[in-house]
Structure 1
């Protein structure tokens, strides 16, 4: 009985006996305090913050600042070059540069045709891939993804061989029926270049769309089949409406990639495709200004303007397409 009474007796501390508040832990804070959780969250975020500053904020800031200067030589242009602050002088020059805005408009119109075709084919392939067996899915998925893995330079050289008038298997086959195809003409240039870009991008976008298809509940398909809906009706009324968010996502990034077009036209022009001018895209102009002319300040200003225009167009595209999604 004495032992049971000792167990029931409340445990007291010297602070409780004196009526004082209990002492706080000597080291650190309570594990569940909000400030401790915020500190841990900040520590876990430090690597991301450092990387974000190193690869994004600092380079962008340096580019903007570099665009505010201009190289000036003393002694009638024969002296040493020095950077001179010109404020918005380079940006004013860009707004009066007709070649830059012509190239930007050319790329925008080119993307307005190429992007819907590429996404439409990627959607069609994803829908076809969703209807075959799992073993065949792996085979076709890898096959369609290979063009995306191939570097852009290699892809341009592959299609240059296929378009070449002398060794092209397409032209050699067409000559047997008395037809000669000029892939390097002023009009066919856009078609052939668009074919290269569609071949490179279709596999990656198809994988994204196919992954979104797998997230749609299969019960919706079963209910539709019970109601007598055909596979075509299920695809049109169930699958495609549920794919609109991923189509908006892929479309927005395709717009960004189109405005940054550089490798394919640069390589094709480098090997003799003269129907593509050196000012075909804004990225080619930036490259020429920095490498050929050594005008890094003007190239930095063009990069800043192109980034702003790209952000505006991507935002407008997102708002317009997202409105359809939420409707």
Structure 2
């Protein structure tokens, strides 16, 4: 029980949870918003390249997260990144792996990895909508924007809730991206809860405390997911 009490008072563990909460609010909003736009775009029957764009948007999710971390680490590197050459043309030399930029750099990696996954969830919800509703709306004079606003968006709310809950769970599970970038720059051990738990267990050998934090993290993730579903008014049919 001392380990569980310590988990709720440990500054590193609490800091990692707060960091990931902020990460979710910013990155989750951006990712779900873009995934929704992409889903609406490929759901447009006038788009003749829907299959191509589905594949392009989904490919990053098929790449293992460790490989994605290495790939983007190369893209962020000051000595190897082609971005540095491009920015250098206008006299800029950004450091994407600095302490002030790392939060946003990892956010970019996670968004790139998971946007296609969430797009497929939302696209599946859009595909389940009867097409007769669109035809009836067009007969009544509805424009494409009206169909999106009054038919598509209200009917895919369950899919949106599912995508957001998955994003909550995925955010608090982030580990591979910051772990891989540790070999390229300084990443705080309490950047994410899983990274802090891993360091506690395998660098300091405190497996009991690490196990307690893992259980607390699972409970926190479950609680946040349930609170959101309750707030969103989700009801099981």
Normalising by structure 2, report the TM-score. Answer: 0.95
1:165 is paired with a residue whose SS is: coil
> Stretches of 4+ moved more than 6 A in 1?
none
Could you tell me whether the CA contact under 8 Å between 2:73 and 2:184 is conserved in 1? no
RMSD (Å) for aligned C-alpha atoms: 1.6
**Matching of residues 1-327 of structure 1 within 5 Å:** 88-132=1-45, 136-269=49-182, 271-274=183-186, 276-322=187-233
Gaps of 5+ in 1: 1-87
Residues 290-321 of structure 1, C-alpha deviation per residue, up to 9 Å, x if partnerless? 11122111111111111111110110011112
1:322 is paired with a residue whose SS is: coil
Following the alignment from structure 1 to structure 2, what is the Cα–Cα distance between the partners of residues 156 and 174? 22
Gaps of 5+ in 2: none
2:92 is paired with a residue whose SS is: coil
Normalising by structure 1, report the TM-score. Answer: 0.69
- Aligned residues between the structures: 236
Question: Could you tell me how far 1:261 is from its partner in structure 2?
Answer: 1.1
Residues 168-227 of structure 1, C-alpha deviation per residue, up to 9 Å, x if partnerless? 111111101112222123332121111100000000111111111111011111111112
Could you tell me whether the CA contact under 8 Å between 2:7 and 2:13 is conserved in 1? yes
Task: Flag the structure with more relative contact order, 1 or 2, with Cα contacts below 8 A and sequence separation at least 6.
Answer: 2
Which of these two proteins has the greater Rg computed from alpha carbons?
1
2:49 is paired with a residue whose SS is: helix
Following the alignment from structure 2 to structure 1, what is the Cα–Cα distance between the partners of residues 166 and 128? 21
